[in-house]
């Protein structure tokens, strides 16, 4: 584990190890504020480590970005204050933390929208799936309303405002969520973006809004405070580009010019995006394919264990590896991996359930002993 536990410069920080906590939706923020609770403060504090990076769960940039029950936001003063307590808990243990900025786009539902209207998307194309309502029941997805060109300008402003709120809450940076079939990936992919203005049609046009958001955040916060997550081969939430390489090669190349803190790639073998256990075999590695196009820090994620993570970093395909499910069930995951200790199993039915079970009740090794 020599490479996995060597220092890494990421943005303005030096990580003491390369075991990253991936962004993980947990649905523990409570209506109507959708601000972090005492339980969330405890959860993040448990998983913080000296010099370790935590990327928070996906966090809504605005009221219209919502689309999941009890998921947190970063668009009100109460939410900023709640997140301040989280960042204090992480920093108190020497940790570093970036907030993942989220807009669900067409995966939302009218029941989440403040005006009761349809959710927002690049084009009025309904996803072929069911979505989760605020009461946690399921319903067919609706046909979304398309942003006008002018409204896209306001969308970009919402991302910048959310980024500034994150910094005000004490975050060391932000990660743009442009993966897993949510709004920004909907702009990227031809099956969900059939616009005829400057934000649709060609690959250059479909990538435009993501690049403009990344550039705007880099200018507002500093490029070393901005990362981005992509899932080039993902199929989550009725997404998927028939030929991903031309699209994502252009996008990664353009983003590379901005000098961002990092690029975070979801490997195709984990393209279920947390909805079920998947381990697709015989697929290309996103990190291996896009490493030559990216000159900065590259984080990869997707069904890694300690040995496979060490191999990925040692080979130079990635600089760090993000872990999800096993960070849920092992609050001291970096220490366990370094020692080669056994990993506690996770309990999938409690991933999104309310309350402390499966959230803050997983013991650390010292507590187990």
Residues taking part in catalysis: 182
Q: Which of 348, 338, 349, 342 is nearest to 365 (CA)?
A: 342
CB 49 within 8 Å of CB 344: no
CB 190 within 8 Å of CB 241: yes
CA 166 to chain centre: 14
Q: Which of 32, 58, 31, 57 is nearest to 43 (CA)?
A: 57
List, in sequence order, the alpha helices (H) in the chain: 38-47, 77-92, 149-168, 183-188, 203-221, 244-256, 286-290, 306-314, 325-329, 333-339, 365-368
Sign of CA dihedral 185, 147, 131, 194: negative
Pairwise CA distance, residues 261 & 9, whole Å: 9
**Checking DSSP bridges between strand 297-301 and strand 262-266, what pairing results, if any?**
parallel
Biggest CA–CA distance in the chain, Å, is 62
DSSP code at position 35: B
- Residues whose CB is less than 8 angstroms from the CB of residue 149 and which lie 6 or more positions away in sequence, other chains included: 197, 198, 199
Pairwise CA distance, residues 223 & 260, whole Å: 5
368: phi then psi, degrees, rounded to nearest 5: -65, -45
């Amino acid at each position: 584990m020599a490479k996995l536990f060597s220092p890494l410069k990421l943005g303005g920080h030096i990580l003491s190890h390369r075991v990253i906590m991936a962004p993980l939706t947990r649905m523990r923020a409570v209506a109507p504020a959708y601000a972090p609770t005492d339980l969330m403060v405890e959860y993040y504090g448990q998983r913080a480590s000296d010099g370790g990076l935590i990327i928070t769960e996906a966090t809504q940039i605005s009221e219209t970005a919502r689309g999941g029950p009890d998921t947190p936001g970063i668009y009100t003063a109460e939410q900023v204050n709640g997140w301040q307590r989280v960042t204090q808990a992480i920093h108190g243990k020497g940790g570093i933390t970036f907030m993942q900025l989220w807009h669900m786009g067409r995966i939302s539902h009218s029941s989440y929208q403040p005006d009761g209207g349809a959710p927002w998307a690049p084009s009025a194309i309904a996803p072929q799936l069911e979505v989760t309502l605020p009461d946690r029941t399921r319903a067919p997805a609706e046909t979304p309303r398309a942003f006008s060109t002018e409204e896209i300008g306001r969308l970009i402003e919402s991302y910048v405002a959310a980024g500034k709120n994150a910094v005000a809450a004490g975050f060391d940076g932000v990660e743009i969520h442009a993966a897993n079939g949510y709004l920004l990936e909907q702009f990227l992919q031809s099956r969900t973006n059939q616009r005829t203005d400057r934000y649709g049609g060609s690959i250059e046009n479909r990538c435009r809004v993501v690049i403009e958001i990344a550039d705007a955040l880099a200018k507002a916060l500093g490029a070393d405070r901005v990362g981005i997550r992509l899932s080039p081969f993902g199929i989550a939430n009725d997404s998927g580009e028939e030929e991903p390489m031309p699209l994502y090669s252009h996008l990664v190349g353009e983003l590379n010019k901005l000098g961002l803190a990092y690029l975070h790639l979801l490997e195709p073998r984990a393209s279920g995006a947390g909805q079920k256990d998947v381990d697709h075999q015989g697929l290309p590695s996103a990190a291996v394919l896009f490493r030559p196009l990216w000159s900065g820090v590259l984080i990869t994620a997707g069904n890694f264990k300690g040995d496979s993570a060490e191999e990925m970093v040692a080979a130079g395909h990635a600089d760090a590896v993000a872990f999800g499910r096993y960070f849920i069930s092992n609050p001291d995951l970096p220490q366990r991996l370094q020692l080669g200790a056994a990993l506690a199993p996770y309990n999938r039915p409690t991933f999104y359930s309310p309350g402390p079970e499966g959230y803050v009740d997983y013991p650390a090794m010292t507590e187990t002993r």
